Amino acid sequence: MVSNGLGGTEMWAGEERDIPDWLNLPSGSHPLALWDSLHDAEVVSIRSNLLQRTIELDVENKHLSGFHKLREGFRFLFHLEGVESVRVLRYAIWPGEFSVPSGSSREEERRLIEEYQSKWRQESASWNEFESTITVGNGQIFCIHDAAIVIPNDAIIALKLCGQLNHSKYHEIFLRAEKLRILGNDASRYSLDEFRRLGEIYWASR
């Protein structure tokens, strides 16, 4: 480490830390699926505070809250503390022709879709632009298709959300923080296990 003259420090090129992340997970780490609780949920706003090192995702899941008879307008708040990293990637969809033949099995349909998606181009995107787009006043949402979390130790969590910006362009977002709290906008609190169980119960009833 060396002082940068601005009251902070810089890291030498060969001094990378072994930080748990989706690109650098510790050996033996197993992501916990959040699909049951977040599939088809919508992030309706994102709020960052650089000074306090926090990010809050305002998540609406109408089918989950309706099934569990949560109050009207209920939303989950994913409150991350000690935020260390945020990234967003977008995908340029391959413009060639694609279709799934009628009568295809589920396995064949999945294979064809995976082959098609493998031709998409991954592109870097601006987090600040993405965050400012997802606001209630903007009318833009991030519709979640899939999600997972890794908690390799008691200090760091890594969260991944995949979905479409306003039901259009596909994005993946990655967040790394020291702590995650899952709250309700009615002041309720949920452990990660309780939150996952809400989704499991819903899909088991389908």
Which amino acid is located at 22 in the chain?
W
Residue 20 placed within a domain: no
Question: Domain range for residue 79?
Answer: 39-93+119-206
Q: State which amino acid sits at residue 86.
A: V
Q: Count of CB atoms within 10 A of residue 121's CB?
A: 9
Q: Are 43 and 59 in contact (CB under 8 A)?
A: yes
* Non-local CB neighbours of 113 within 8 Å, separated by 6+ positions: 100
pTM (two decimals):
0.81
CA distances from 181 to 24, 44, 99, 145 (A): 23, 18, 41, 21
Main-chain phi, psi angles of 172, to 5 degrees: -125, 130
| Position 204 in a domain | yes
Is residue 114 situated within a structural domain? no
Whether 29 maps to a domain, the answer reads no
User: How many beta carbons lie within 10 A of that of residue 43, not counting itself?
Assistant: 23
Structural domain contains residue 154: yes
**Distances from the Cα of 153 to the Cαs of 22, 115, 150, 174, 179, in angstroms?**
14, 35, 9, 18, 11
Would residue 61 count as lying in a domain?
yes
Burial of 139 (0-12, 13-18, 19+ CB in 10 A): exposed
Asked if the structure places residue 150 within a domain, the reply is: yes
- The rounded radius of gyration (Å) of the Cα atoms in the chain is 19
155, part of any domain: yes
Q: Quick check: 76 and 183 in contact, CB under 8 A?
A: yes
**Could you read off the pLDDT tens digit of each residue along the chain, which spans 206 residues?**
444 444 444 444 444 445 456 666 655 667 899 999 999 999 999 999 999 999 999 999 999 999 999 999 999 999 999 999 999 999 888 999 999 999 999 889 889 988 998 999 989 999 999 999 998 777 799 999 999 999 876 568 899 999 999 888 899 999 999 999 999 999 999 999 999 999 999 999 98
Q: Looking at the 3D structure of the chain, how many domains does it have?
A: 1
The pLDDT of residue 47 is 95
> Could you give the CA distance from residue 173 to residue 83 in angstroms, rounded to a whole number?
14
pLDDT for 138: 73
